[in-house]
Amino acid sequence: MVKKLLLVVMAFIAAVSFAKTKIVFWQFMMDDAIAKEVLDGFAREYPDIEVEVAQLSWSNGFDKIVTAIAAGAPLDVVELGNTWVSNFAAQGAIIPLTDQDLSKYRSFPGMNSAEYLGKYYGYPWLLGTRAMFYNVDLMKKAGLDPNNPPQTWSQLLEATKKISQIPGAYGIGLPAGEVYSPWQEWFLLAVWGNNGDVISKDMKKATLNSPQVKEAAAFYQELSKYSMKSKQKDLGDAFGQGKLGFLVSGAWSVGSLAQSYPNLNFGVCFIPKPDKQDGVHASFLGGEILAIPRQCKNIDAAKKLIEYLMRPEIAMIITKHYPGVYPADPRASSDPWFEDNPLHLIFFEQLKTAYPVPPTPAWPKIEDILTNVVDDLIVNYKAVDEVLNHYNSEIQRVLDEVK
């Protein structure tokens, strides 16, 4: 009897010893096959942690996360689009990082997109940005050196003037008449590069009519005189057909152009910066942020998973499946994949001077206003001061509504 009891006790102890901690991870970037490829190493390294992975869709993932957090559903790690962080942080739905959490990642590109009112609420995992594509053959026809694409606003303006003199060609493509791309693919980048912004750092004051924004808007309007203005997809096709000298776009265009227009001779360079000494090759920063919801009951295990996913060699697995998103960790630049894909290395390096949109819950309304700003500047050719003063008031009204 004693022997049987001892065996029962030993079996119980063994069962407890081998019991796994289960964590739930909701994400967008990995299907089942990629998730297995990514997480097999984690399972070997942490056999005591079981990860349940769910793939969300961009069409309804945001709403599902909101509902799950509100209901207190079991959820330990969640992938958020970087423009969502302020919404969840403002509601107390995700937990802020400690100084110890930040120590490894504070200097990473994209860390600024996890910030809200002085605190950080997530880890930059996979990042995307914009760079400038240029047509090598059109540059040669215009007497320009394709080995030295434009680096400054004045160089770009001069180059677009020359290319626009070629029959059937436009100097540059500028998006208009749709949401997102008009401000993402150049206008707001020019503002940031000129050390300006559309709202103040405390998120309370509209600054669209500041001197820095006025300079950027005046340049942008002048540049538009030598441009094709249309929706981003149409501009991408026009660039592929050899009609545009320059086009700002995301890294996805590297593959799509090579596939759809195999004879196109093109290169990629940083976004041109203002000629002034403190000008910046600024770009737009999009990305995926790993955050821990407030209802997480296994924070230590959740952080282990995040630290594993943040490793450059792990994040690069996803990059190789989806070129166009890159690890936030700068050490990823040494991966041999970039030697075979040098245009993608330009995008990866561009991340160092890429900016996220201001972290305010009011941003969805503000971005709609910016679309109208661009259309009035380059389609309707309204006076710069008139446009910026009018829409500055509109942005201020939106900011006042969220106070």
pLDDT digits (tens, 9 = 90+) for 283-296: 999 999 999 999 99
Confidence of residue 171 (pLDDT cuts 50, 70, 90): very high
**What is the rounded distance in angstroms from the CA atom of residue 380 to the CA atom of residue 402?**
31
Residues 105-113, mean pLDDT to the nearest whole number: 92
> What is the percentage of the chain residues whose pLDDT exceeds 70?
95
Distances 134 to 120, 149, 157, 314, 338 between C-alpha atoms, Å: 37, 8, 13, 32, 20
Q: Who's near 342: CB < 8 A, 6+ residues apart?
A: none
Catalogue the E-assigned strands of 136-232: 170-175, 227-230
Q: What number of other Cβ atoms are within 10 A of residue 2's Cβ?
A: 6
- pLDDT the model gives residue 11: 45
Distances 107 to 95, 110, 116, 362 between C-alpha atoms, Å: 20, 9, 16, 27
Distances 363 to 170, 241, 358 between C-alpha atoms, Å: 33, 35, 7
Residues 129-158, mean pLDDT to the nearest whole number: 98
Which structure tokens are listed for 80?
């958020």
Residues 33-53, mean pLDDT to the nearest whole number: 97
Strand 286-291 to strand 123-128: parallel, antiparallel, or no bridges (unpaired)?
antiparallel
| All domains of the chain in start order, with CATH | 20-128+285-355 (3.40.190.10), 130-283+360-401 (3.40.190.10)
Helix (H, G, I), strand (E, B) or coil at 154: helix
Residues 42-67, mean pLDDT to the nearest whole number: 96
Confidence of residue 402 (pLDDT cuts 50, 70, 90): confident
State the pTM of this model: 0.91
For residue 156, the one-letter residue type is L
Let me know: does 289 contact 113? Beta carbons within 8 Å.
yes
Residues 87-113, mean pLDDT to the nearest whole number: 93
Q: Is pLDDT at 2 greater than 90 in this prediction?
A: no
- Measure the CA dihedral 179/180/184/185, to 10°: -60
Which structure tokens are listed for 216?
């950027």
Residue 249 parent element (H or E)? strand 244-250
**What is the rounded distance in angstroms from the CA atom of residue 39 to the CA atom of residue 308?**
9
Q: Is pLDDT at 7 greater than 80 in this prediction?
A: no
Q: Comparing C-alpha atoms, which of 56, 177, 128, 61 is closest to residue 324?
A: 128
**What is the rounded distance in angstroms from the CA atom of residue 219 to the CA atom of residue 211?**
12
Task: Encode pLDDT of 300-350 as tens digits.
Answer: 999 999 999 999 999 999 999 999 999 999 999 999 999 999 999 999 999
Q: Is pLDDT at 8 greater than 50 in this prediction?
A: no
Let me know: does 353 contact 280? Beta carbons within 8 Å.
yes
**What is the rounded distance in angstroms from the CA atom of residue 177 to the CA atom of residue 154?**
26
Residues counted in the chain: 403
- pLDDT the model gives residue 3: 54
Confidence of residue 19 (pLDDT cuts 50, 70, 90): confident
Distances 244 to 199, 226, 344 between C-alpha atoms, Å: 33, 10, 21
Mean pLDDT of the chain: 94
